[in-house]
Structure 1
Amino acid sequence: MASFWTDHKLAILILIVMASMQPRGSRAADEDPLQDFCVKDTTQQIHVNGFVCKDPAQVQASDFTSAVLKNPGNTSNVLGLAVTAANALTFGGLNTQGVSIARIDIAQNGLNPPHVHPRAAELLYLAQGTLLVGFVTSTPDNKLFALKINAGEVFIFPRGLVHFQLNVGYGTALAFSSFNSQNQGTSQLAKALFASNPPTNDAVLEKALQLSAADVQRLRALISKT
């Protein structure tokens, strides 16, 4: 594990820096911070756009580091996927900094299914394996941009567009994705449609997707288990 971080820490650092260096005129992500830092105060239950700051006098160096991405995720599931996020929810030091990062472990033939990040673009660095990656533009074109990438390559998924990653190599693939938001948000399309809470009206799904009532119920049962 030590050799892995030695080999890839520079690339991971570059991902984070690139995600945070957008020109001001084109920035469409988190607002600029108004102080040096605002470490999340986990004792507060106040609801604001972000998180309440910890008293600066109580902040320590350990607030600015996290081991959340250190270990491989568990890919023994239907999708063969484990996504481990280091964002303001799991790493308080990222609060107000406008960046986050995630570790993506994908088993052989595994899939990170079509999803969107409503608050950030995603810059993916593939550390190990081969992935088929792609995204679809918005209407009216709905154009698919997809290709295979190999270890050492990067790929950008524009903000808010549907995208995916499929492991088409041998063995587990490992990728790291950086985001220009402290909390990028993730919405899997299948879950949003068939596993919402409360459930989406059957008639909406039947009409929109041209499915039978039986198909809708079958997909509800199937997707709720993934």
Structure 2
Amino acid sequence: MAAKFFLLALLALSFSRARASDPSQLQDFCVADRTSQVFVNGFACKDPKTAVVEDFHFSGLHMAGNASNKQGSAVTAVNVAHIAGLNTLGISLARVDYVQYGQNPPHIHPRASEGLIHFQYNCGTKEAIAIAALSSKNPGVITIANAVFASKPSISDDIVAKAFQVDKKIVEHIQAQF
């Protein structure tokens, strides 16, 4: 008798969960409509019937960026501006190419957190590649050196010199690089 009661209770619980669940999501995807004049925390959704394969595709991530610059790195960003199908999914990624001794300068993504997925180093060419995933469809980037030494309007040389505990002439020298 107790076993039958337990089985009946178990069936009742599983039935109530099944009835309470939503068998399908309200929306599977929201392809960005870049032509819409409506602003809804990013891009409005275009009619799902007009979605095409190109809305979910990006070509070029396999090609190395030009890292022959002062930093020795090149960033190829892939976000909702490049793949309309990423809209509302809260993801984007970036490929960072490095030459020997290159760096991706200290920076922040004000609208995302970042996690390294893959890092590859090629000993033959002394080049490296990193693929980073970001938790935003449009993470943005603020490079620390640009924000401090090349801001518009500029930060007072006296304040920067005091903050970095260096002579004002050093600050002026660094600012001249920008």
TM score, norm. by length of structure 1? 0.61
In terms of Rg, which structure is larger?
2
What is the match of residue 198 of structure 1?
Answer: 153
> In structure 1, how many angstroms separate the alpha carbons of the residues matched to 2:79 and 2:160?
33
1:102 and 1:177 in contact (8 A); partners too: yes
Give 1:184's aligned amino acid: P
Cα distance in 1 for partners of 2:37, 2:115 equals 32
Structure 1 residue ranges without an equivalent (≥5) = 1-32, 131-167
Q: 2:107 aligns with which of 115, 131, 134?
A: 115
Q: Give the Cα separation in 1 of the matches to 2:152 and 2:176.
A: 14
Contact 1:81/1:106, CA 8 A, preserved across alignment? yes
Note if 1:85 corresponds to 2:77. Answer: yes
Q: Determine the C-alpha separation between the residues in 1 that align with 2:158 and 2:50.
A: 54
Runs of 4+ in 1 over 6 A off after TM superposition: none
Q: Percent identity?
A: 45
SS at match of 2:45: coil
Q: Distance in 2 between matches of 1:52 and 1:217?
A: 45
Match of 1:98 among 90, 104, 109: 90
2:167 counterpart of 1:175: no
Task: Determine whether 1:215 maps to 2:177.
Answer: no
In structure 2, the CA distance between the partners of 1:90 and 1:83, relative to structure 1 (3 Å rule), is same
TM-score by length of 2: 0.75
Q: Which secondary structure does the structure 1 equivalent of 2:46 belong to?
A: coil
**Are residues 1:124 and 2:116 paired?**
yes
Q: Which has the higher contact order (CA 8 A, sep 6+)?
A: 1
Give the SS at the match of 1:129.
strand
Alignment of 1:14-163 (within 5 A): 35-129=27-121
1:202 positional shift: 2.5
SS in structure 2 of the partner of residue 113 of structure 1: coil
Structure 2 unmatched ranges of 5 or more: 1-24
Higher percent of residues as strand: 1
* 1:157-178 residue CA offsets vs partner (Å, 9 max, x unmatched): xxxxxxxxxxx99611011111
Deviations 1:157-210 (CA, angstroms, capped at 9, x unpaired): xxxxxxxxxxx9961101111112112222211111011222223232122222
Q: CA RMSD in A?
A: 2.4
Q: 1:215 to 1:93 in 2, by over 3 A?
A: same
Number of residue equivalences: 154
